[in-house]
Amino acid sequence: MAWYKDKNTLTFSTGTGAHWSNLYGPGEKVPKSGIYKCTGCGKEITSNENDPFPPQNHHQHTVPQGAIRWKLIVRSNTEGK
């Protein structure tokens, strides 16, 4: 789980864009800058828009954890809006 210290620095999103619900695999293009969480093991990463997600060997899963899949949990405001 991502932590924060000052709740006034984050804004709750009611957005329904696909970037909030889609899952992304190793090496895929990052759709939006932010913090992503692996749905299998809970590891978190920060990634920049248009960069690739970490490769398959970034970290390993056990069979019960399934495939490495990244989900956006905190979006960065890189557009200044």
pTM: 0.88
CA-CA distance, 18 to 6, in Å (whole number)? Answer: 27
Q: What integer pLDDT is reported at residue 31 of this predicted model? A: 96
Backbone region of residue 67 per phi and psi (left: phi > 0; alpha: psi in -120 to 50; beta: other values) = beta
Can you give the pLDDT of all 81 residues of the chain as single tens digits? 788 889 888 888 887 889 999 999 999 999 999 999 999 999 999 999 999 999 988 889 999 999 999 999 999 988 766
Q: What integer pLDDT is reported at residue 3 of this predicted model? A: 85
Q: What is the helix, strand, coil percentage profile of the chain, to 5?
A: 15, 20, 60
